[in-house]
């Protein structure tokens, strides 16, 4: 069965899931279950992987970092690179939208890959219009 949607997760969603954040873990498990049932593809960027690895390395937990690296690869996740073409998306996003450089990198990787949904917990990004991304929704939306 082909994927229904390609869904990009912003870095914090992985942090909530990997660290079993008490306020978000139930929601993250629900989203993962829904995505699996729908046969969606989980996407993120190599930049997001780097951001997610910061916490384990700060805590001196290289084993946890290794588990994250092993999880965030096919077939579980499609990791999108920040290529020259994505850099062009980045420049346009930074020129046209009031977003941080790091948010623009996430959006650029997702836009270049043509994802259906960009899922985030950053309220400043929710509802932004970025060519190449069909929808940008908050973690609290009922989209999944």
Give the closest residue to 77 by CA, choosing from 140, 3, 1. 3
pLDDT tens digit string along 28-69? 999 999 999 999 999 999 999 999 999 999 999 999 999 999
Mean per-residue pLDDT of the chain? 95
Q: Give 91-128 pLDDT, tens digit per residue.
A: 999 999 999 999 999 999 999 999 999 999 999 999 99
Q: Judge whether residue 77 has pLDDT over 60.
A: yes
pTM of the model: 0.94
pLDDT of residue 114: 97
> In the predicted model, is pLDDT for residue 1 greater than 60?
no
Render pLDDT for 13-32 as a digit per residue (tens, 0 to 9): 999 999 999 999 999 999 99
- pLDDT computed for residue 86 by the predictor: 97
pLDDT at 3 over 90: no
DSSP secondary structure, the chain, as one string: ---S-EEEEPHHHHHHHHTT-TTTHHHHHHHHHHHHHHTPEEEEEHHHHHHHHHHHHHTT-HHHHHHHHHHSSTTT-EEEP--HHHHHHHHHHHHHS---HHHHHHHHHHHHHT-SEEEES-TTTTT---TT-SEEEETTSS--
Integer-rounded Cα Rg, in Å, for the chain is: 15
User: What pLDDT sits at residue 9?
Assistant: 98
């Amino acid at each position: 069965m082909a994927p229904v949607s390609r869904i990009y997760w912003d870095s914090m969603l992985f942090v909530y899931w990997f660290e079993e954040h008490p306020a978000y873990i139930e929601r993250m498990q629900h989203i993962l279950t829904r995505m699996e049932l729908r046969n969606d593809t989980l996407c993120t960027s190599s930049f997001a992987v780097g951001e997610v690895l910061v916490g384990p390395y700060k805590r001196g937990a290289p084993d946890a970092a290794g588990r994250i690296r092993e999880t965030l690869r096919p077939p579980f996740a499609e990791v999108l690179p920040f290529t020259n073409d994505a850099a062009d998306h980045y420049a346009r996003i930074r020129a046209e939208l009031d977003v941080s450089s790091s948010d623009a990198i996430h959006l650029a990787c997702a836009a270049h890959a043509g994802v259906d949904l960009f899922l985030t917990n950053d309220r400043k990004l929710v509802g932004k219009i970025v060519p190449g991304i069909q929808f940008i929704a908050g973690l609290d939306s009922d989209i999944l």
